[in-house]
Amino acid sequence: MSTVVKTVNLVKIYQDGAVPVPAVRGVDLHVEPGEFVAIMGPSGSGKSTLVHMLGGLDTRTSGEIWLDGKRVDTLSESAWALLRRNRIGFVFQFFNLVANMTVGDNVELPALLAGASPKVARERRESLLAALNLTDRAGAAPAQLSGGEQQRVALARALANEPSLLLADEPTGNLDSRNTRDVLRLLSEVHKEGQTIVMVTHDARVASLADRLVSLFDGEIVDDGRIARRRTRTAGEVIDLR
């Protein structure tokens, strides 16, 4: 299998204001199949801009983006749409669900669009909703849900088409500790099953599930390294560390 994500000297300069804003300044990032990469960095360091470009939701100013060994930064918008439907799951910092569809249909649709049979799409929907403790809310409209519930629906929807790449931007921003636990459990499950994940987060619990941490600062990668996994320890040993 080839590298899932590769960027080469990726640059984004926003030119819509009076002065150009360099948001991403020459990022080289490689993500291998099955890797879980967390992206952290101060507000304004370019995290959202980077993952939006990886999902084709924002155009690059210069540089290259490769997904599954194929160059994609040159694709048309419709080709990107097709790619997202089949290969990429995206959870936004500010969730966007289809307002006039039930929660259940929001989750089921991406699987159907990606070509799953109705039976498979339905099974996927049921298991994701159950994993995120949302089964009771399946018939509700997104507007009737709390922020945390909408965020969990957004995650379920992003995973529905079993994407080769899950991109997520602060997927636990609105969650309390109980709901974060459900999201953590689902993320580590899909990661164990081989899901490749690139995730922006400020939440240390979520980030600690990752294999690797990429730190952004002023639009550049200032650190890229593995998060050490040690042998499992007993309670006393772990707590005594602090």
Partner 1 sequence: MRPHLLALLAKEPAHGYELKQALEQTFGSAYPSPNIGQIYVTLGRLEKDGLIRAVDVEQSNRPNKKVYYLTAKGRDVLEAWVDEPTEGPRVRDEFFMKLVLAPLTGIADRMALISRQRRHYLSLMGDLNDLMSRTAPTDRVAMLLIEGAMLHLQADLDWLERCQEDLA
Ligand X SMILES: Nc1ncnc2c1ncn2[C@@H]1O[C@H](COP(=O)(O)OP(=O)(O)OP(=O)(O)O)[C@@H](O)[C@H]1O
Q: Which of residues 156-195 bind Mg ion (CB under 5 A)?
A: none
The answer to whether 48 contacts ligand X (rule: CB under 6 A) is yes
Q: Which of residues 212-231 bind partner 1 (CB under 8 A)?
A: 213, 215, 217, 222-223, 225-230
- H or E, element range at 150: helix 147-159
Among 23, 54, 145, 167, binds ligand X (CB under 6 A): 23
Tokens describing residue 91: 């959870």
The answer to whether 7 contacts Mg ion (rule: CB under 5 A) is no
The answer to whether 63 contacts ligand X (rule: CB under 6 A) is no
Closest CB 183 distance from ligand X, rounded Å:
18
Helix axes 177-192, 147-159, angle to 10 degrees: 10
State the DSSP code for 35.
-
Closest CB 137 distance from ligand X, rounded Å:
27
Closest CA to 26 of 191, 204, 219: 219
Among 3, 11, 13, 14, binds ligand X (CB under 6 A): 14
User: With the CA atoms of 90, 94, 99 and 101 taken in that order, what torsion angle do they form, in degrees rounded to the nearest 10?
Assistant: 30
Closest CB 58 distance from ligand X, rounded Å:
8
- Per DSSP bridges, beta strands 196-200 and 36-40 are parallel
Contact footprint for ligand X (CB under 6 A): 14, 16-17, 21, 23, 41, 43-49, 93
